[in-house]
């Protein structure tokens, strides 16, 4: 039997811990504040910003949305991020993507101070993570994958983990977190030969390619834990699909995350956790 992992339940458990942390900080006179910088009218981004605001409200975290509009200049975005980085009332900062095409990739994220970079967007945060240095946050999505594997009791130490996708948002930071848990990690990408054969070595398989149904029965070792990060729009009615063809891996995988309802809700809660942690760290 293949278990369908309940991402919403894991998110609720993370949320309960964050709520307790936030209450303790509030008792000491500190309310964590997350600043969300938006320079897009992308519907997915709009939906996510609303979800972040709702989660923050439920947990007692302040959430300030700074909407600069989709035509914002690079100077306006970088200027605001630099200002928020030095604003003592702000503890966490995220800059929603996509950014306007005129903004050079990576430029905006570099303005976010690593101690407030709660979605691991600054390349410096990724470098600190790679170097095993404290004080940097992984992306919320990578943290969510690790949280789900921990929650499921995945044995990572000494075992094989395969991550499909090498982006700086998901693939690379996820691989680093699994490496930090002493897994033997392989990263696959669009040029990988024999993807199915490499994936079949995995005790824990993380799919983050953004290719619906890329991962099927031929990719999954019997008893593997499969984490599906992919979210692709399908059809014309707002449906989404993951990277895993869940029907074909059922009966082979030990457990698999659904899409939606798997990694997504845990990601939002990890962002809240990072914001509370940043507030505590900044307060010393
Ligand atoms: P990306 O496009 O930046 O990277 C995709 C990666 O997959 C690349 O490294 C590419 O080499 C690899 N890839 C593409 N086709 C492949 C193939 N056929 N075989 C092997 N590898 C292949 O995307 P991303 O930002 O890393 O996001 C990946 C997916 O995760 C998307 O569907 C995205 O929507 C989703 N996502 C989910 C969350 C969440 O919280 N649930 C957060 C971020 C991204």
Following DSSP, what letter does each residue of 70-122 receive, concatenated?
Answer: TT--HHHHHHHHHHHHT-TT--EEEE-SSPPTTSPTTTTGGGS-GGG-TT--S
- Please, what sign has the CA dihedral across residues 41, 43, 47, 52? negative
pLDDT tens digits, 211-245? 999 999 999 999 999 999 999 999 888 899 999 99
Domain 140-264, second-level architecture: 3-Layer(aba) Sandwich (3.40)
- Ligand 1 contacts CB of residue 213 (under 6 A): no
Report the nearest atom of ligand 1 relative to the CA of 268.
40
Q: How buried is residue 222: exposed, middle or buried, by Cβ count under 10 Å (0-12/13-18/19+)? A: exposed
Report the nearest atom of ligand 1 relative to the CA of 211.
15
Give me the percent of the chain exceeding a pLDDT of 90: 96
Q: Do domains 29-113 and 140-264 have the same CATH topology?
A: yes
Class of domain 29-113: alpha beta
pLDDT at 284: 86
39 Cα–ligand 1 center, Å: 22
Q: Which residue has the tokens 């970088």?
A: 78
Choosing from 7, 141, 170, 195 the residue with most ligand 1 atoms within 8 A of its CB, the one to mutate for a pocket test is: 170
Report the nearest atom of ligand 1 relative to the CA of 262.
41
Peptide bond into 98 cis (omega under 30): yes
What are the DSSP E strand ranges found in 155-203?
160-164, 184-188
Domain ranges of the chain: 29-113, 140-264
Q: What b/e string do you get for 161-176 counting C-beta neighbours within 10 Å, with b at 16 or more? A: bbbbbbbbbbbbbbbb
Mean predicted lDDT score pLDDT of the chain: 97
Tell me what the mean pLDDT of segment 188-193 comes to.
Answer: 98
Distance CA 120, CA 138 (A): 5
């Amino acid at each position: 039997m293949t278990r369908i992992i309940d991402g919403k339940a894991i998110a609720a458990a993370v949320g309960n811990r964050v709520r307790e942390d936030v209450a303790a900080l509030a008792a000491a006179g500190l309310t964590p504040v997350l600043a969300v910088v938006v320079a897009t009218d992308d519907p997915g981004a709009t939906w996510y910003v609303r979800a972040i605001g709702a989660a923050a409200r439920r947990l007692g975290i302040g959430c300030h949305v700074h909407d600069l509009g989709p035509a914002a200049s690079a100077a306006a975005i970088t200027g605001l991020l630099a200002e928020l980085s030095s604003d003592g009332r702000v503890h966490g900062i995220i800059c929603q993507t996509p950014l306007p095409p005129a903004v050079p990739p990576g430029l905006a994220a570099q303005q976010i101070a690593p101690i407030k970079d709660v979605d691991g967007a600054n390349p410096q945060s990724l470098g600190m993570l790679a170097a095993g240095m404290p004080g940097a946050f992984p992306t919320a999505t990578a943290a969510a994958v690790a949280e789900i594997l921990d929650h499921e009791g995945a044995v990572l130490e000494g075992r094989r983990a395969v991550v499909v996708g090498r982006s700086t948002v998901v693939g690379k930071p996820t691989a680093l977190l699994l490496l930090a848990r002493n897994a033997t990690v392989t990263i696959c990408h669009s040029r990988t030969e024999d993807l199915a054969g490499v994936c079949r070595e995995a005790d824990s398989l993380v799919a983050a390619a953004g290719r619906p149904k890329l991962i099927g029965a031929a990719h999954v070792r019997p008893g593997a834990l499969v984490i599906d990060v992919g979210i692709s729009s399908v059809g014309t009615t707002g449906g989404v699909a993951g990277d895993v063809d869940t029907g074909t891996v059922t009966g082979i995988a030990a457990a698999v995350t659904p899409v939606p309802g798997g990694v997504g809700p845990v990601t939002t809660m990890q962002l809240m956790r990072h914001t509370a942690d940043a507030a505590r760290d900044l307060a010393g």
